[in-house]
Amino acid sequence: MNVRAATTATYAAFIGSGFAFASWASRIPQIRDRLALDSSELGLVLLAIAAGSLLALPLSGPVVTRIGSSRTVIAMSALLAVGLTTAALGSLAGVAPVVLGLFLLGFANGAWDVAMNVQGTVVERHLGKSVMSRFHAGFSLGTVAGALIGAAMVAARVPVAAHLTVVAALVVAAVAWQARRFVPDHDQTGPATGSDTPRVSALAAWREPRTLLIGLFVLAFAFTEGVGNDWISVAAIDGHHVSPALGTLAFAGFLTAMTVGRWFGPGLLDRYGRTPVVRILALIGIAGVALFVFGPSPAYAYAGALLWGLGASLGFPVGMSAGGDDPRRAAARVSVIASVGYCAFLGGPPAIGFLGDHYTVLRALVVVAALLAMAVLIASSVRPLPGTGLAPESEPRLAPEAR
């Protein structure tokens, strides 16, 4: 069993997922123009991705439990490539094939997401230290690379079909090759779970109070992240009256702070434990949102965006780690947590838009602080399970060679 190879493979899965999705997103304007869609029609077309993800997330727990995270990622990378290629080539024919392709892309991305997070929790256990947030930082790096290359393809006038078809082929080849190096999801390090079948375990996870609380915890941080991604630039431009370029700068600061927090966060988690760290980060996020919304000048808003991004950085990956504390039930629990949490990515941006019509977008962002306050109250739900071999929150966790 080569844990180092599995670590590299897990990074590849996260980076590949982010790269593929950002590559698609970078070409949305060209596909919109090709199909002559207005904003509402484009929104309906993009709902196909959400529909696919919503169907895949609850189903992925039983699938990963039965066939393993390695084979799930391999299969879903192939399906994602089919979906991305169908959407790209379909844009030359009409709306229907694009919708079909995006549904397949969303389905593949949802199941792939659960499977790679399950593998991330397994790698964490073998390494004896927190690395999940770095995997999520890898996803962020993948999105940046996909967006930059996409921008270069647009500038070079490379056709959408050619660009995305090549991306699909590269992603499936690289990720499928790397995913073969995953370590087995089930080992002897976790507690016995009796004779539960994968189906029973997956259904039972929906009735576990701790799992549902972690789902709410992740929902709060997913809402914080998703709203930041979609609305910081708009709120800075409309609410603080900065130029579009400076509004984008606030968004860039948010992303940078979140990525830095995810990369350097594991040291804090290993030293102080999950619950204290995520509580403090949630409070930092609340302060950042308050500064962004109520700051008297754009300079305060920029500082608030940085604090907001830092505060949002670790909640989602820590929730995934907590869901995988017991490796034998990790797939079912991570599936439930992801299903609950991803509702925020789907519902958060429209909710802010609705509130923005009544109270302005800038003031509507106060909802983010309210959800982070809820996360502070339920942060103890991510404390490591007893009997899983993880150190209690009051003690630092050490790598195996240091014990």
Tens of pLDDT, residue by residue, the chain (403 residues): 689 999 999 999 999 998 998 888 888 878 888 998 876 687 788 888 888 988 998 888 888 888 999 999 999 999 999 999 999 999 998 899 999 999 999 999 999 999 999 999 889 888 888 899 999 999 888 888 888 888 888 889 999 999 999 999 999 999 999 999 999 887 544 444 444 444 445 678 888 999 999 999 999 999 998 888 778 888 888 889 988 778 878 888 888 898 899 999 999 999 999 999 999 999 999 999 999 999 999 999 999 999 999 999 999 999 999 998 888 888 889 889 988 988 887 777 678 878 888 888 899 999 999 999 999 999 999 999 876 555 555 444 434 433 3
Q: Considering the domain boundaries, does residue 186 fall inside one?
A: no
Are residues 248 and 106 both part of a single domain? no
Q: Considering the domain boundaries, does residue 192 fall inside one?
A: no
Are residues 15 and 108 both part of a single domain? yes
pTM: 0.80
Are residues 147 and 175 both part of a single domain? yes
| Domain range for 353 | 198-397
**CA–CA distance from 285 to each of 136, 269, 290, 311, 373 (Å)?**
18, 17, 9, 4, 9
CA dist 287 and 339 (Å) reads 28
Domain boundary among 120, 147, 179: 179
Are residues 160 and 202 both part of a single domain? no
Are residues 215 and 358 both part of a single domain? yes
User: Which residues touch 183 (CB under 8 Å, ≥6 apart)?
Assistant: 1, 2, 3, 6, 119, 122, 123, 126
Are residues 19 and 65 both part of a single domain? yes
Q: Considering the domain boundaries, does residue 185 fall inside one?
A: no
Are residues 280 and 135 both part of a single domain? no
The number of distinct structural domains making up the chain is 2
Are residues 252 and 346 both part of a single domain? yes
In three-state form (DSSP H/G/I as H, E/B as E, the rest C), the secondary structure along the chain is: CCHHHHHHHHHHHHHHHHHHHHHHHHCHHHHHHHHCCCHHHHHHHHHHHHHHHHHHHHHHHHHHHHHHHHHHHHHHHHHHHHHHHHHHHHCCCCHHHHHHHHHHHHHHHHHHHHHHHHHHHHHHHHHCCCCHHHHHHHHHHHHHHHHHHHHHHHHCCCCHHHHHHHHHHHHHHHHHHHHCCCCCCCCCCCCCCCCCCHHHHHHHHCCCHHHHHHHHHHHHHHHHHHHHHHHHHHHHHHHCCCCHHHHHHHHHHHHHHHHHHHHHHHHHHHHHCHHHHHHHHHHHHHHHHHHHHHCCCHHHHHHHHHHHHHHHCCHHHHHHHHHCCCCCCHHHHHHHHHHHHHHHHHHHHHHHHHHHHHHCHHHHCHHHHHHHHHHHHCHHHHCCCCCCCCCCCCCCCCCHHHC
CA dist 123 and 14 (Å) reads 13
Are residues 141 and 204 both part of a single domain? no
Are residues 152 and 217 both part of a single domain? no
Dmax of the chain from CA atoms? 62
Are residues 163 and 259 both part of a single domain? no
Q: Considering the domain boundaries, does residue 193 fall inside one?
A: no
Are residues 144 and 276 both part of a single domain? no
Q: Considering the domain boundaries, does residue 189 fall inside one?
A: no
* CATH number of the domain enclosing 42: 1.20.1250.20
